[in-house]
Amino acid sequence: MTAPIPFERPVFVTRPVLPPLGDYVALLETVWQSHALTNMGPMHQMLERAIGDRLGVGQVALWNNGTSALMGAIRALDLRGKVVVTPFTFPATVHAIALLGLEPIFADIDEESLTIDPAKITEVLVDEVSGIMGTHVYGRLCDTAGIFEVAQASGLKVVYDGAHSFSRNPPIFPDDPTVLGDITTLSFHATKLFHSVEGGATITSDPELDRRLRLLRNFGIASESDVELIGMNGKLSEVHAAMGIAMLGMIEGEIAQREGVASAYIAGLEGVDGIRIVAGNAQSMQYFVVRVDPDAFGSDRDSLFDTLRSMNVVARKYFSPLCSDMEPYSALPSAQNLPIARAVASQVLALPFYGGMSTDDATRITDIVKWHHDGNRR
Ligand SMILES: *Cc1c(COP(=O)(O)O)cnc(C)c1O
């Protein structure tokens, strides 16, 4: 195989999708005319309804980002003491627990789904645990039925970080607490397939929880004369909500383009020993992730990462390091023994994946992977 030609400019793991500027400006003109800039204004309400309709759930509350949605969820459920959480997630999931003064307890993940394993949750349960937080990794659902069972048996609340799952179509959010948990959160950060630059949401099938979430989002203010609980400022501004509205029209086209890129990746990687595709095929169009089995592939993930980097392909080791290995958490007893998560974190690699890429770019990237596999190193 002849040496691949490096990309002229870096190809990053993602590139935010943008609506036509004119569409956004037209919405901003409405904002300018109304002088309503935030506090659940018309754009916010329109986006909240539109997202509820798309997901097929009634009780969606928008937030200013996914992290405050997670913190709102923990407060709405009044979690105390300790919360069992996956180590294989973005830091925000674990930080939300710790920032509120609670202690995370890590439980290992399932080898196949890469999500928190209900059997491992049972193993780490102690009296002070009040809740469970799982992440639908790359849009792959947690074992929601298994987690529901553990939660019911021990009287625990369940929060799902669904930051990766919104793009999935058809959506994964039935109005069903066995699947939604008590609360599911979303992120609309710029790097997600659907975004409002910054933004997030909570989903619940419980009207009382939904009411508490909305209070928490707005300083606990129930009425002009009544502050009912300790709340925060988690409101999505009109400028951000308008971006979300403009982006709603972009999702299906972006998914279709990504499907083309995914097909090129899948075709190019077929038959390469030691490379397994774990995201980018059906579960979600948010990421395209492979797992590198070092024995079968003949080199490890980090070495492949370096070769790709030398060719101007900026892949991401997503999620590596594990949250349990990060400075604030690495001394916790539960951080010490997570063999599956640790092995998985050393093998995953998110390849560049966005609609603006050509299928040709994807094929060139798979050629680099094959070239590396054939024993060439940079
Ligand atoms: C992006 C992301 C978040 C954080 O969301 P923000 O909107 O950036 O606060 C949380 N969890 C996961 C799994 C994410 O991917």
CA 370 to centroid of ligand 1, rounded, Å? 32
Whose Cα sits closest to atom 7 in ligand 1?
66
pLDDT at 16 over 60: yes
Contact 87, 324 (CB under 8 A): yes
Angle of helix 91-99 relative to helix 66-76, nearest 10 degrees?
A: 40
pLDDT > 90: percent of the chain: 87
> Is 66's C-beta closer than 6 angstroms to any atom of ligand 1?
yes
Which element (helix H / strand E) includes 290? Answer: strand 288-292
pLDDT at 54: 85
Write the burial class of residue 356 (CB in 10 Å: 0-12 exposed, 13-18 middle, 19+ buried). middle
Half-sphere exposure of residue 161: CA atoms within 13 angstroms, side-chain side: 29
Distance CA 373, CA 293 (A): 12
pLDDT at 170 over 70: no
> Which atom, in ligand 1's list, is nearest to the CA of 200?
7
pLDDT at 101 over 80: yes
pLDDT at 282: 63
> Is 187's C-beta closer than 6 angstroms to any atom of ligand 1?
yes
Q: How confident is the model at residue 168 (pLDDT cuts 50, 70, 90)?
A: low
Distance CA 89, CA 97 (A): 13
pLDDT at 375 over 90: no
CA 34 to centroid of ligand 1, rounded, Å? 31
Angle of helix 207-217 relative to helix 66-76, nearest 10 degrees?
A: 120
Contact 373, 307 (CB under 8 A): no
Average pLDDT for 255-264: 94
pLDDT at 291: 97
> Is 257's C-beta closer than 6 angstroms to any atom of ligand 1?
no
> Is 67's C-beta closer than 6 angstroms to any atom of ligand 1?
yes
> Is 92's C-beta closer than 6 angstroms to any atom of ligand 1?
yes
Q: What is the DSSP letter of 362?
A: H
Q: What is the DSSP letter of 336?
A: S
Whose Cα sits closest to atom 6 in ligand 1?
66
Q: Beta partners for 132?
A: 84, 158
Q: How confident is the model at residue 157 (pLDDT cuts 50, 70, 90)?
A: very high
> Is 89's C-beta closer than 6 angstroms to any atom of ligand 1?
yes
CA 66 to centroid of ligand 1, rounded, Å? 5
Average pLDDT for 133-155: 95
Backbone angles phi, psi at 148, to 5 degrees: -60, -45
Average pLDDT for 219-233: 97
Average pLDDT for 299-325: 96
> Is 320's C-beta closer than 6 angstroms to any atom of ligand 1?
no
Average pLDDT for 248-269: 94
CA 225 to centroid of ligand 1, rounded, Å? 34
Q: How confident is the model at residue 38 (pLDDT cuts 50, 70, 90)?
A: very high
| pLDDT tens-digit map of 62-80 | 999 999 999 999 999 999 9
pLDDT at 281 over 90: no
DSSP string, 208-260: HHHHHHHHHHBTTEEETTEE-S---B-PPPHHHHHHHHHHHTTHHHHHHHHHH
CB crowding 206-238: b at 16 or more within 10 Å, else e: beebbbbbbbbbbebeeeeeeeeeebbebbbbb
Cα-Cα-Cα-Cα torsion 347, 354, 186, 346, nearest 10 degrees, comes to 10
pLDDT at 99: 98
pLDDT at 332 over 80: yes
Average pLDDT for 36-65: 93
Average pLDDT for 154-177: 82
> Is 165's C-beta closer than 6 angstroms to any atom of ligand 1?
no
> Is 163's C-beta closer than 6 angstroms to any atom of ligand 1?
yes
Report the mean per-residue pLDDT for the chain: 94
Q: How confident is the model at residue 174 (pLDDT cuts 50, 70, 90)?
A: confident
Average pLDDT for 264-291: 89
> Is 184's C-beta closer than 6 angstroms to any atom of ligand 1?
no
Whose Cα sits closest to atom 10 in ligand 1?
92
pLDDT at 279: 80
pLDDT at 56: 80
Which element (helix H / strand E) includes 133? Answer: strand 129-135
Question: First-to-last CA distance in the chain?
Answer: 15
Task: Look up residue 291 and give its amino acid.
Answer: R
pLDDT at 91 over 70: yes
> Is 68's C-beta closer than 6 angstroms to any atom of ligand 1?
no
pLDDT at 366 over 90: yes
CA 6 to centroid of ligand 1, rounded, Å? 31
pLDDT at 173: 67
DSSP string, 146-171: HHHHHHHHHT-EEEEE-TTTTT-SS-
Q: Encoding tokens for residue 181? A: 């948990």
CA 299 to centroid of ligand 1, rounded, Å? 31
pTM over 0.85: yes
CA 374 to centroid of ligand 1, rounded, Å? 37
Average pLDDT for 40-45: 97
pLDDT at 171 over 80: no
